[in-house]
Structure 1
């Protein structure tokens, strides 16, 4: 387990160094995660070795939100002053993200020529 956590954190560190060193607009942990996924695709044995620990981390993912909750409480004054604008921004960005996902899905379905099997059954 310690070896696996060291591997995961090493990829995060490499991503952070790459992000800051190259001035990339992506956060370091995202770059590290992409590198970890690529490494797991190249070496499936790595994926099998880190699977138990990563599943354990995912089962306790809610614990990672505790620091965010503390941050919210620490900035309660800012939230009180700008809460409506924050709520509108979050709601608006959520709607835009859902719309962008739906449009991307439709575009890919059209490009690949995919059809709805249920619709074809009804037409027969």
Structure 2
């Protein structure tokens, strides 16, 4: 189990280093996940040690929502005061995301249908 945890931390550290020195506009953990994905794709399977660590983390994933819930409760008056602005931002971002996704899909569908 320790070996799998060390491997996951190694990919996160590599992502942080890459973010610090080469791609400062992409967060280190995101780059670490991309490196991990590339490693697993090249390897063709997930090592047993990583699988054990990942399964253990997934079993307790619900605990990661506790800090977010505490933050919501802590800032509830501020959230209530700005409820309309937050709601508008959420609705507009969802509509924009759906629209951009539809346009990209339409663009790729045209390229696939052309001979």
After TM superposition, is the score higher than 0.5? Answer: yes
Query: Unmatched 5+ residue regions in structure 2?
Result: none
Point out which structure has higher relative CO (alpha carbons under 8 A, 6+ apart). Answer: 2
Report the number of matched residues.
113
CA distance in 1, matches of 2:88, 2:71: 20
Aligned counterpart, 1:19: 19
SS, match of residue 36 in structure 1 = helix
Aligned counterpart, 2:2: 2
Query: Unmatched 5+ residue regions in structure 1?
Result: 115-124
CA distance in 2, matches of 1:92, 1:58: 32
Aligned counterpart, 1:51: 51
Q: Deviations over 1:4-54 (max 9, x none)?
A: 222222212222233234462222211111111111122224x24323432
TM-score (norm 2): 0.76
User: Per-residue deviation at 1:92?
Assistant: 1.4
Distance 1:96 1:43, change over 3 A: same
CA distance in 2, matches of 1:71, 1:22: 33
CA contact (8 A) 2:4 2:52 kept: no
Q: What are the within-5 Å matches in structure 2 for residues 6-85 of structure 1?
A: 6-22=6-22, 24-45=24-45, 47-49=46-48, 50-85=50-85
